[in-house]
Amino acid sequence: MRAPTPANLAWSNIGLGEISLQRGQAAQAARYFDEAVRTAADYATALAARAGRIKAEAATSSPPVPDESARAFISQLDKVILGGRKAEIEQTIVSGELVNFAKAIVGSQPEVWQTQVLRTEQIDATHMAVDVNLNVKQLGREVSGRPVLILARVGNGWKLADVEYFDEVR
């Protein structure tokens, strides 16, 4: 008998999470979705599992409260991005990372950049995953989606280290 693949395990947990949500068992659904996230099988399962987990946690009587220091950093990042100053943007990003992201922000100054923190998750002692809703208007084009921002602790504060799983919605 062959062992199930990570994708099979992730989709199974996503399905069980959906069933649990339909039955009104939000806490159990959140556990299934969380397991699917940890499996990290592929892009599609990661998007589905993360979205399901946020939905399930919101349906519980006490959803997890996002980390306040991460929320404050994201708020400051929004202001810096809207300011459009290269030096300030680069100060919010881990050195050597997201070079093209920074260039794109400076080169096509966004008219709107609004980030809503949905969930935070400590990855390790120095990294945090932050699920967000992002609404952007840049060069007359509006885009929204749910990226996962990876923050790295540098000194006493956070810096943006990566942008993962951007699920764009128009």
- Compute how many other C-beta atoms are within 10 angstroms of the C-beta atom of residue 75: 12
Identify the pLDDT of residue 98: 85
pLDDT at 154 over 90: yes
Instruction: Dump pLDDT digits (tens) for 77-115.
Output: 999 999 988 889 999 999 888 888 888 888 888 899 999
3-class DSSP state of 36: helix
In the block, which residue shows the tokens 């199974």?
Answer: 12
Q: Which pLDDT value is given to residue 109?
A: 84
Encode pLDDT of 109-122 as tens digits. 889 999 999 999 99
- Tell me 95's DSSP state: T
Neighbours of 104 (CB within 10 A): 12
β-bridge partners, 169: 144
CATH code, residues 68-169? 3.10.450.50
- d(Cα 117, Cα 96) in Å, to the nearest integer? 25
Residue 84 CA to residue 68 CA, distance in Å, equals 25
The pLDDT value given to residue 139: 83
